[in-house]
């Protein structure tokens, strides 16, 4: 169960759990609180039962309707596992799943979001839900520590299972960057620096554009592309005008063929305020694209600075500029980072992640201990 099936790391994790499940043992159904989205179509194409509790986008007035339909859903279906993703699904589903005595209730905690840090109400609701759950999967050690420290969840109820990349999808093709850029409608020449994610405060795209302006002054051949949708789209376009780099910045919205998008890049730039373990970093690494990223939360747990990526203290525009220019100008470093990034990504395969989650399922449902729980 997940808030919505629009683009995002949590939605990709749901699809990975469905795609790489042990089919002989697990029969998944997917429920979204509201709306549809890209991953709805993906799941339906796999013949996975998927339903939404309200078909429109979220509104506070819909909460009683969502709660009522969720109540009836759990009353009708004797699920063995209710596995929630994102705070809305967790807060609404955990109490009802406990009421109906679902044998295993667990949640996937994806990000060190500011909402729980700032809001006593949100943190309180999440704490209640997590205490009603049997287990919390944290996608980074920092998230696990937050849940234990701020919500008082016992450490034995928390497992760190890092996000993973679908290596079947994210593997470099024998296609030139020029061809890929032509297909995507991007400039065929120049150094292409990409940003990926929801256009939202968390991803700090204003800093991305400020870095872009300074990199462009030092490397006139640099071009920038942002893949993603969100509420900051108009403001970011206006900022690119103010910075004088609008002709060099391409907003491409939602991109369906992300492997091709990554392979068209020369570098991925991630300027986030906070993260869990961002899939965009692992996906870019799997495609051999060097990454310059904020040293926040799970990013620093999967990227080794100077070895398979370059990390920058959050907000340090000067260092983002320096590392970006250095990686693009020093071809030997670029090739070394590219090779090491691909090797690192192979350690975070979606198939292996799903096996870890299934170990948790069976530990609770059948008492199996044949595999180690992380």
* The pLDDT of residue 152: 92
Residues contacting 343, CB < 8 A, separation 6+: 308
Domain that holds residue 203: 177-345
Q: Is 231 among the domain residues?
A: yes
Q: Is 96 among the domain residues?
A: yes
Q: Is 97 among the domain residues?
A: yes
Q: Looking at the structure, tell me whether residues 149 and 246 fall in a common domain.
A: no
Count of structural domains, the chain: 2
Q: Looking at the structure, tell me whether residues 318 and 185 fall in a common domain.
A: yes
- Where does residue 232 fall: left (phi above 0), alpha (psi -120 to 50 degrees), or beta otherwise? alpha
Q: Looking at the structure, tell me whether residues 228 and 332 fall in a common domain.
A: yes
* The pLDDT of residue 114: 61
Distance CA 41, CA 168 (A): 19
Q: pTM of the prediction?
A: 0.90
Q: Is 3 among the domain residues?
A: no
Q: Looking at the structure, tell me whether residues 245 and 110 fall in a common domain.
A: no
Burial of residue 91, with CB atoms counted within 10 A of its CB: 0-12 exposed, 13-18 middle, 19 or more buried: buried
Q: Is 170 among the domain residues?
A: no
- Where does residue 70 fall: left (phi above 0), alpha (psi -120 to 50 degrees), or beta otherwise? alpha
Q: Is 251 among the domain residues?
A: yes
* The pLDDT of residue 118: 67
Radius of gyration (Cα) for the chain, nearest Å?
A: 21
Q: Looking at the structure, tell me whether residues 125 and 224 fall in a common domain.
A: no
* The pLDDT of residue 97: 97
Q: Looking at the structure, tell me whether residues 130 and 188 fall in a common domain.
A: no
Length, in residues, of the chain: 374
Q: Looking at the structure, tell me whether residues 145 and 110 fall in a common domain.
A: yes
* The pLDDT of residue 204: 95
**Total Cβ atoms within 10 A of residue 349:** 19
Q: Is 13 among the domain residues?
A: yes
* The pLDDT of residue 374: 41
Q: Is 278 among the domain residues?
A: yes
Distance CA 237, CA 19 (A): 37
Per-residue pLDDT of the chain (374 residues; tens, 9 = 90+): 999 998 888 999 999 999 999 999 999 999 999 999 889 999 999 999 999 999 988 778 889 999 999 999 999 999 999 999 999 999 999 999 999 999 999 999 987 666 666 677 888 899 999 999 999 999 999 999 989 998 999 999 999 999 999 999 999 988 889 999 999 999 999 999 999 998 989 899 999 999 999 999 999 999 999 999 989 999 999 999 999 999 999 999 989 899 999 999 999 999 999 888 889 999 999 999 999 999 998 899 999 999 999 999 999 999 999 999 999 999 999 999 999 999 999 999 999 999 999 999 999 998 755 444 44
Please report, for the domain that includes residue 131, its CATH number.
Answer: 3.40.50.2000
Q: Looking at the structure, tell me whether residues 184 and 292 fall in a common domain.
A: yes
* The pLDDT of residue 117: 62
Distance CA 157, CA 325 (A): 44
User: CB–CB of 6/38 below 8 Å?
Assistant: yes
Ramachandran angles phi, psi of 76, nearest 5°: -85, -30
Q: Looking at the structure, tell me whether residues 91 and 198 fall in a common domain.
A: no
Residue with tokens 């256009």: 199
User: Encoding tokens for residue 82?
Assistant: 């209710």
Q: Looking at the structure, tell me whether residues 71 and 199 fall in a common domain.
A: no
Quick one: CA torsion of 250, 193, 227, 340, rounded to 10 degrees?
170
Q: Looking at the structure, tell me whether residues 102 and 160 fall in a common domain.
A: yes
Q: Looking at the structure, tell me whether residues 153 and 225 fall in a common domain.
A: no
User: CB–CB of 230/193 below 8 Å?
Assistant: no
């Amino acid at each position: 169960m997940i808030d919505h099936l629009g683009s995002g790391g949590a939605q990709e994790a749901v699809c990975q759990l469905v795609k790489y499940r042990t089919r002989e043992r697990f029969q998944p159904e997917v429920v979204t609180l509201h709306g549809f989205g890209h991953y709805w179509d993906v799941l339906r194409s796999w013949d996975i039962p998927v339903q939404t509790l309200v078909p429109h986008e979220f509104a506070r007035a819909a909460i009683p309707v969502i709660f009522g339909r969720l109540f009836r859903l759990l009353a009708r279906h004797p699920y063995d596992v209710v596995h929630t993703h994102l705070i809305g699904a967790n807060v609404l589903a955990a109490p009802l799943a406990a009421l109906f005595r679902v044998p295993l209730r667990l949640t996937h905690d994806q990000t060190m979001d500011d909402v729980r840090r700032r809001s006593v109400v949100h943190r309180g609701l999440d704490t209640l839900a997590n205490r009603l759950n049997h287990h919390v999967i944290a996608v980074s050690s920092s998230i696990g520590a937050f849940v234990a420290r701020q919500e008082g969840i016992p450490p034995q109820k928390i497992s760190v299972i890092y996000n993973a990349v679908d290596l079947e999808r994210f593997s470099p093709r024998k296609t030139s960057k020029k061809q890929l850029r032509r297909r995507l409608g991007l400039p065929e020449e120049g150094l292409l620096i990409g940003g990926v994610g929801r256009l939202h405060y968390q991803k700090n795209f204003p800093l991305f554009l400020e870095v872009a302006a300074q990199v462009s002054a030092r490397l006139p051949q640099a071009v920038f592309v942002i893949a993603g949708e969100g509420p900051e789209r108009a403001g970011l376009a206006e900022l690119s005008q103010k910075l004088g780099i609008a002709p060099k910045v391409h907003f491409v919205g939602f991109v369906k063929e992300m492997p091709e998008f990554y392979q068209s890049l020369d570098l991925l730039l991630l300027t986030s305020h906070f993260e869990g373990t961002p899939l965009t970093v692992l996906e870019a690494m799997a495609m051999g694209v060097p990454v310059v990223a904020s040293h926040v939360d799970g990013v620093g747990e999967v990227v080794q600075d100077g070895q398979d990526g370059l990390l920058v203290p959050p907000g340090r525009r000067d260092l983002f500029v320096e590392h970006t220019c250095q990686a693009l100008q020093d071809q030997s470093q670029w090739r070394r980072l590219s090779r090491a990034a691909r090797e690192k990504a192979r350690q975070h395969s979606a198939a292996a992640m799903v096996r870890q989650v299934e170990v948790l399922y069976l530990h609770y449902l059948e008492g199996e201990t044949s595999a180690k729980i992380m």
